[in-house]
Structure 1
Amino acid sequence: MSNFGVGILKRVIDLLTYGVAAAVLFWVYQFRLATIEINSLGIAVVFFVLFEFAYYWHHRWAHEVRWMWATHSVHHSAATMNLSVSARLGATGLISGSILVFAPLALIGFHPLMIAFTLAASLFYQVFLHTELIKTLGPLEWVLNTPSHHRVHHASNRQYINKNYGGVLIIFDRMFGTFAKEEEAVKYGLTIPCESKNPIKIALFEWGRILRDCRKATSLFQMFGYMFFGPGWKPKQ
C-alpha cells in the first residue's frame, strides 16, 4: 500500500509537471542539428542505443549527484522486492532536472515524442525486473538488464552499491565498470533507512536530509557540497 501510495502521488504531480518537461524538450528541438526520422531498422537501433546511453548516465548521476538522488532515493527506499516497487518512484524529477539528461537527443534531431515514448517503454520493461521469482535468464544476462542485475542495483550491500544502472541493456555497465553480478544474498533499502510508510514523508525523505545538512553548513562551499556532491558527502574536518 505504501508503494502504491507513492505511485499515486507521483502520477498526480506528473499531470502538473509533464507539460513543463515536454516544453523543455520541444524548446531544445527547435535548435536541432538535423531532423532524424525513425524510418529504418538501422536508425531505430542507433536511436535505441543512444537512448540507452543517455538513460545509463541519467540513472548513474541520479546516484552520484545528491540533488538528483533526492528524487531517485524514493525508489530505493523499499526494504523488499516485488513488482509493486516499480510504482515507488520519486515525484520531484522536475526539480532534480532529470529531463535535461535527455535533451541532447532532441538537440541531435530526434523528436521529443519519440524520446518520451521510448522512456515509457523502457520503464514498462523495467516493471518486470522488480521480482525475486526469476533467478536468471541465461545468456541474455550478458546483454539485457534482468531481474538478477536489478536486484543487485537495489541492494545496500557494500559491494553492490552504485552498480547496474542500465535500463533495458546492461552493456554500458560492463563498458564503464559499474557492473556487478548477483552472488551473495541481497539486502534491500537505503543505508540510512526511511522507516515511514507515509507516501509524502517517503517522497520528501532525502530532501529533508539535504535541508538539515544545509542548515549546519558553515560556508557556501559546504552548502553546495551537501546539495550536489555525492550522497553521504561531508566536509573535511
Structure 2
Amino acid sequence: METYANALLYAIPFFSILVIAEIAYGYFVKNQTHTVNDTISSISSGLTSIVKDSLGLAVILISYPFLLENLALFSVPETWYTYLLAFLAIDFASYWNHRLSHKINFFWNQHVIHHSSEEFNLACALRQSISNILGYFPLLLIPAALIGIPYKIIAILTPIHLFAQFWYHTKHIGKLGVLEYIIVTPSQHRVHHAINPEYIDKNLAAVFCVWDRMFGTFQEELDDVPPVYGVLKPAATWNPILINFQHLWRLIQDAWRTNSYYDKFRIWFMPTGWRPKDVRDTYPVKIIENVYTVEKYTTKTSTSLQIWSAFQLIFTIILMLFLFYNFGTILESYGYGMMVLYGIIVFVGVYSYTSLLDHYKYTIVFESIKLLLGLFVIVSTSDWYGLNAYVSFGNILMAMYFITSFFATIYFSFMEKIWVSSRKLAA
C-alpha cells in the first residue's frame, strides 16, 4: 500500500498538470473539450478510486505470488526481456479483463464509471472504479505465472501499465499513421468510448492494439461517424460514487423483482444490459436509441457554486497528497482504522460537493456527516493526522475548513437562489 501511495505522490500532480494543460490548449484553439461540472466529477472519481486502492479495500480472490509458487514451470531471471514479457502478459490480461467488463452484467458495474462521461478528455481517464471489490485480475496473469515471471516485476509494471493509458483520452490528437497498427491511440480510444452502433464495445486493448486485431474487436474511427460519448443508460448525475453503483442497484432490483428463480441467478452472468422479460416489461428503463438526438446531462449551476466546487476538489487533492506523503507515519501512529476513517471523510466529502452540483436536496445530510467525522478526528486526537507537525495551527485550519464547508453547503443548497433573487429585485 505504501509503495502505491508513494507512486501517487508523483502521479496526481503530473496528471493534474496535463489536465490543466489540455484545458488551456482547448481555450487557446477555441475547441474546449471540458466542462466545469464534468471535469470536477471526473477528477473526483479518480480521487475516490485511489483512496480505495491505496487502503487496500478489496477482496483478493487469489494472489499472483500464490499462482507463481504453484504454477511456475520455469525460473526466469530479471532481465530486460523478462520485463518485456511481463508487460505483454499484463497487457494481454488487461484486454480480457476489459472485454469481460463490457460483456458481462456483473463486471460492467465495475467499469461503467469510466464510460459515464458524455465528454472525452484527459480527465475522463481518471474515472476509475471503486466498485471493483473482487480482486480476480491475477487469474488472468496465469500465463505470466506459468513462465515464472517474478512478482516484483509484475508489481512494478502494473501501475506503469495503468498510467500509460492516460494520454490517449483526448480529442486533440488525430490519427498517428503507422502507430495505429501498433499501439492504442487517441483515435482508437475515441471509438471505444463512443456509443454509436458502429463503435460500441470496440477497441478494448489497453496499450497494444494487436489484441483487438487478433480477436475481432478492432474498429477504426470513421470520418463520417463522429463519436457520441457516454453510456446507453445515462448516469444523469455528477456524483461519481452514485455512478459506481447505479448498474449494480438495477441488477439487484431486477433480481429481486423477477418471478423466475433461474433469472434471479443468471442475470449476473448474462450479457451487459440483459434483463428478465417480466421485469423488463413491468419496469422499463430508459435507453438511448438514437445517439444523435441525445441531450447531454446538465444542471444550472452558478459561477460561484462552480468556483466553490473547484475549491473543494483542490482541497481534497491536497488532503490526498498529505495522506500519501505521510502514509507510513499515519499508519504507524494512528492505525489502519483511522486511515480508513480518513478515506471515509474523503468519500463523504466528494459525495457532498458533487451532489451539490446536482442540486440534490439531501446534500446537507452528507455534509453534516463530514463535519461530525472531521471534528471527531480533531477532538479525539488533538491533531489532524500529524498536520500540526507542519503547521502549528493545523487543528484550527481543519476545523475552520469543515465548519466553512458546512455553512457553504447550507448557502448553496437553500439560500443562494433567495439571495440572488433579492439582489435582482433591489437592482
Residues 94, 24 of structure 1: CA spacing in aligned structure 2 closer, same or farther, 3 A cutoff? farther
Instruction: Give the C-alpha shift of residue 20 in structure 1.
Output: 5.3
Partner-residue secondary structure (3-state), 2:174: coil
Contact in 2 for aligned 1:79/1:189 (Cα 8 Å): yes
Instruction: Give the C-alpha shift of residue 45 in structure 1.
Output: 3.3
Partner-residue secondary structure (3-state), 1:159: coil
TM-score, structure 1 normalization: 0.90
Task: Name which of structure 1's ranges 220-229 and 177-186 shifts more when overlaid on structure 2.
Answer: 220-229
Distance in 2 (alpha carbons) for counterparts of 1:97 and 1:223? 23
Name the aligned partner's letter for residue 247 of structure 2. E
Which residue of the partner structure matches residue 119 of structure 1? 158
Distance in 1 (alpha carbons) for counterparts of 2:253 and 2:85? 44
**Counterpart selection for 1:177 from 171, 193, 216:** 216
1:29 aligns with 2:68: yes
1:158 aligns with 2:189: no
Contact in 2 for aligned 1:164/1:180 (Cα 8 Å): yes
Contact in 2 for aligned 1:151/1:186 (Cα 8 Å): yes
Structure with the higher helix share, 1 or 2: 2
Distance in 1 (alpha carbons) for counterparts of 2:138 and 2:234? 27
**Counterpart selection for 1:106 from 145, 152, 158:** 145
Contact in 2 for aligned 1:7/1:88 (Cα 8 Å): yes
Residues 214, 97 of structure 1: CA spacing in aligned structure 2 closer, same or farther, 3 A cutoff? farther
Within a 5 Å distance, the mapping from 1:218-237 to structure 2 comes to 218-235=259-276
1:206 aligns with 2:247: yes
Contact in 1 for aligned 2:170/2:186 (Cα 8 Å): yes
Name the aligned partner's letter for residue 35 of structure 1. S
1:75 aligns with 2:114: yes
Distance in 2 (alpha carbons) for counterparts of 1:236 and 1:204? 23
The RMSD of aligned alpha carbons is 2.2
Name the aligned partner's letter for residue 209 of structure 1. R
Instruction: Give the C-alpha shift of residue 96 in structure 1.
Output: 6.6
Name the aligned partner's letter for residue 151 of structure 1. R
Name the aligned partner's letter for residue 17 of structure 1. G
Contact in 2 for aligned 1:142/1:170 (Cα 8 Å): yes
Cα offsets for 1:138-190 (capped at 9, x unmatched): 11001110000001000111110110011110001011110000011000000
TM-score, structure 2 normalization: 0.52
**Counterpart selection for 2:178 from 135, 139, 156:** 139
Residues 66, 140 of structure 1: CA spacing in aligned structure 2 closer, same or farther, 3 A cutoff? same
Distance in 2 (alpha carbons) for counterparts of 1:127 and 1:67? 25
Task: Name which of structure 1's ranges 60-69 and 88-97 shifts more when overlaid on structure 2.
Answer: 88-97
Partner-residue secondary structure (3-state), 1:205: helix
Which residue of the partner structure matches residue 17 of structure 1? 56
Residues 49, 196 of structure 1: CA spacing in aligned structure 2 closer, same or farther, 3 A cutoff? same
Instruction: Give the C-alpha shift of residue 23 in structure 1.
Output: 6.9
Residues 97, 48 of structure 1: CA spacing in aligned structure 2 closer, same or farther, 3 A cutoff? closer
**Counterpart selection for 1:188 from 229, 232, 251:** 229
Contact in 2 for aligned 1:17/1:94 (Cα 8 Å): no
Distance in 1 (alpha carbons) for counterparts of 2:77 and 2:60? 22
Unaligned stretches of 5+ in structure 1? none
Instruction: Give the C-alpha shift of residue 72 in structure 1.
Output: 0.6
Name the aligned partner's letter for residue 223 of structure 1. K
Aligned length: 236
Name the aligned partner's letter for residue 245 of structure 2. L
Instruction: Give the C-alpha shift of residue 19 in structure 1.
Output: 7.8
Distance in 1 (alpha carbons) for counterparts of 2:59 and 2:91? 23
Which residue of the partner structure matches residue 351 of structure 2? none
Distance in 1 (alpha carbons) for counterparts of 2:182 and 2:230? 26
Higher relative contact order (CA 8 A, sep 6+): 1
Identity of matched residues, %: 33
Instruction: Give the C-alpha shift of residue 226 in structure 1.
Output: 1.6
Cα offsets for 1:56-79 (capped at 9, x unmatched): 111111111121110011101111
Residues 192, 20 of structure 1: CA spacing in aligned structure 2 closer, same or farther, 3 A cutoff? closer
Contact in 2 for aligned 1:165/1:173 (Cα 8 Å): yes
Instruction: Give the C-alpha shift of residue 22 in structure 1.
Output: 9.9
Distance in 1 (alpha carbons) for counterparts of 2:147 and 2:254? 39
Distance in 2 (alpha carbons) for counterparts of 1:18 and 1:26? 19
Distance in 2 (alpha carbons) for counterparts of 1:219 and 1:113? 48
Instruction: Give the C-alpha shift of residue 204 in structure 1.
Output: 1.2
Distance in 1 (alpha carbons) for counterparts of 2:138 and 2:65? 12
Distance in 1 (alpha carbons) for counterparts of 2:173 and 2:43? 22
Task: Name which of structure 1's ranges 216-225 and 164-173 shifts more when overlaid on structure 2.
Answer: 216-225
Contact in 2 for aligned 1:6/1:202 (Cα 8 Å): no
Task: Name which of structure 1's ranges 142-151 and 95-104 shifts more when overlaid on structure 2.
Answer: 95-104
Contact in 1 for aligned 2:196/2:228 (Cα 8 Å): yes
Which residue of the partner structure matches residue 293 of structure 2? none
